[in-house]
């Protein structure tokens, strides 16, 4: 499968997240950082080396010997991300330094995320290369993704077709099939977490990142989390959920990829109205926006957005669907129509930098599943993205997303 937008399909992306913080606390003290890096380089972990995704779990001192540490490319509530270069090869990576003193009481969230990253190794998922655990900081060497996110790829392309959209969905489903085979649910599938990775030969792929909400499914989950536009009905209903919440989110993304606006939206941007629509799950493909989209695409979306999770497609079902596998999908250029709606409904303004790196560290307030559902509680759950340094910090509160602005269709 080839595409003018993505010559080779490898697809799936990455984004980094942190937790809510004040503007003052986000100002990272560079001299303090330098001192901490120096102490980190002097520290020698008295343990034997182990493997992370087939790579060494190194002693702290060896990281500074192996990598040349560069400038800050992102920071958040309890971490800073710097670029680094492997001295022997010149390859670029991201070094994420998590301040343990700022994570008091939330250590299990970091441990959970890193534990998931240790398990996954897939070309479409951001990889943890090395990790170093010291008494005061956790150091993570990650793949560095310099491309923009899914929406950036569309708005910056010369041409965007239904075929391009199907390739994106194919690769997203491929990554989800892999995760779900390990009983891992991501729980925050959205365009911001799908970033474009460009290989040295010029081919592009997507890498999935931000595993701050990912967890192993061992039974029904009840934690209310996610991003409103993409959240599955069973999460809102607090009826217990599993792997298929990721398929619902992928279905929402598929819908957006073909028209530029989400399938469920509030006329007055009211969260309660949005959740009511999601719970009902009534799909509409309004004219003229969907007039030129194939019936096969609409059928797939309908299968992915089944309110009944048991009836909802699996990742394998998506991969086997004709709209994803058929090379004869329409090649009509949809860029003007889709990008116009993306700009209306989402924040797709150019970033100061497109570099994104690392792995999320997210604070989530857990709720007793017996507590009655109150929509305002969502506003208390905050996800903050690691955005490029000097770029404004975007709060992923669960009443809004960095890309999410949902006025009526116009």
Active site residues: 188
Is residue 96 annotated as involved in ligand binding? yes
**Under a CB-based contact definition with an 8 Å cutoff, are residues 19 and 361 in contact?**
yes
The single-letter DSSP state of residue 391 is S
Distance CA 106, CA 89 (A): 36
Distance CA 364, CA 116 (A): 17
| Nearest residue to 403 via CA among 308, 282, 261 | 261
Residue that has been written with the tokens 């560079």 in this structure: 30
Distance CA 277, CA 229 (A): 11
CB-based contacts of 260, cutoff 8 Å, min separation 6: 289, 337, 338, 339, 340, 341, 342, 344, 345
CB-based contacts of 307, cutoff 8 Å, min separation 6: 233, 279, 280, 281
**What sign for the dihedral angle of Cα 18, 19, 23, 24?**
negative
Distance CA 125, CA 131 (A): 17
Binding site members for ATP: 96
Binding site members: 96
């Amino acid at each position: 499968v080839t595409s003018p937008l993505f010559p080779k399909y490898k697809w799936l992306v990455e984004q980094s997240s942190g937790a809510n913080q004040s503007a003052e606390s986000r100002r990272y003290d560079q001299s303090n950082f330098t001192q901490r890096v120096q102490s980190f380089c002097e520290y020698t972990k008295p343990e034997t080396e182990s493997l992370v995704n087939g790579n060494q779990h190194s002693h702290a001192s060896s990281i500074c010997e192996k990598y040349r540490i560069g400038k800050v490319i992102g920071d958040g509530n309890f971490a800073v991300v710097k670029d680094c270069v492997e001295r022997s090869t010149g390859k670029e990576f991201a070094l994420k330094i998590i301040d343990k003193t700022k994570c008091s009481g939330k250590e299990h969230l970091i441990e959970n995320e890193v534990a998931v990253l240790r398990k996954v190794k897939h070309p479409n998922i951001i990889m943890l290369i090395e990790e170093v655990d010291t008494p005061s900081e956790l150091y993570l060497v990650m793949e560095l993704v310099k491309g923009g996110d899914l929406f950036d790829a569309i708005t910056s392309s010369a041409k965007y077709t239904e075929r391009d959209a199907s390739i994106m969905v194919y690769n997203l489903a491929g990554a989800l099939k892999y995760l779900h085979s390990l009983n891992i649910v991501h729980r925050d599938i959205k365009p911001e977490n799908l970033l474009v990775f460009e290989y040295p030969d010029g081919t592009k792929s997507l890498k999935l990142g931000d595993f701050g909400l990912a967890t192993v499914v061992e039974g029904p989950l009840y934690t209310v989390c996610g991003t409103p536009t993409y959240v599955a009905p069973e999460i809102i209903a607090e009826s217990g959920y599993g792997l298929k919440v990721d398929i619902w989110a992928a279905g929402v993304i598929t819908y957006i990829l073909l028209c530029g606006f989400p399938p469920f939206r509030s006329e007055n941007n009211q969260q309660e109205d949005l959740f009511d629509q999601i719970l009902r799950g009534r799909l509409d493909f309004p004219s003229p926006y969907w007039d030129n989209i194939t019936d096969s695409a609409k059928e797939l979306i309908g299968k992915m957005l089944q309110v009944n999770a048991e009836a909802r497609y699996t990742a394998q079902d998506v991969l086997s669907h004709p709209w994803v596998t058929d090379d004869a999908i329409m090649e009509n250029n949809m860029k003007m129509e889709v990008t116009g709606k993306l700009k209306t409904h989402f924040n797709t303004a150019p970033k100061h930098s497109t570099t994104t790196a690392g792995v999320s560290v997210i604070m989530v307030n857990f709720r007793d599943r017996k507590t009655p559902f109150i929509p305002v509680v969502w506003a208390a759950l905050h996800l903050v993205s690691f955005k490029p340094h000097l770029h404004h910090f975007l709060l992923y509160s669960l009443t809004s997303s960095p890309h999410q602005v949902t006025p009526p269709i116009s």
